[in-house]
Amino acid sequence: MIDDVDCKILNHLQGDARISNAELARRVGMAPSGVLERVKKLEERGLIRGYEARLDARKLGSGLVAFAFVRSDDRVGGIESAEALAAIPEVQEVHHIAGEDCYLIKIRGRTWEALGRLLRRRSASSRRSAPPGRRS
C-alpha cells in the first residue's frame, strides 16, 4: 500500500523525474531526508522501476505516428510475436488486446511513405509465414 504522500511523490516524479530532492520535498511538505528515504523505498518495492528521457521524435526525424492492429497465431499468453514486433526499430509500443486482432502497435517513422512500406513489408512477410487457410 502507498499513502497520500507516496502518491504525491510519484505524481511529481512522473511529471519531472529530474526534479531535485529539495524541490520534491518542498512540494510534498516534508524534509528532504524523509522524501529521499521514501523514494528509495518506492524504488526497492519496485513502484519506481527507473527514470527515462523523453525524446522529441520530430526533432529526431520520426515525427509521424501510426497505430496498426496485428494478428498472430501465438497461443493465448504466447509472447513470440510480441517480442518479434518489439524488435522492429520503428515499433515503439506493443499492446496485447482482446478480440480478432492480437496486438495494437505504435509505429514512428520519418514519412508516411516509409511507414506504409514498413507495414506492407511486415504484412507480406507475415502472410507468407501463415499456415494455409489462416492468411489475412
pLDDT digit string (tens) for 5-38? 999 999 999 999 999 999 999 999 999 999 999 9
What is the pTM for the complete model shown? 0.59
What is the per-residue pLDDT for 102?
A: 82
| Residue 121, in any domain of the structure | yes
pLDDT at 52 over 50: yes
* Domain extent for 70: 64-129
- CA distance linking residue 78 with residue 97, whole number of Å: 13
Residues 91 and 120 in one domain: yes
In a domain, 81, yes or no: yes
Q: What is the CA radius of gyration of the chain?
A: 21
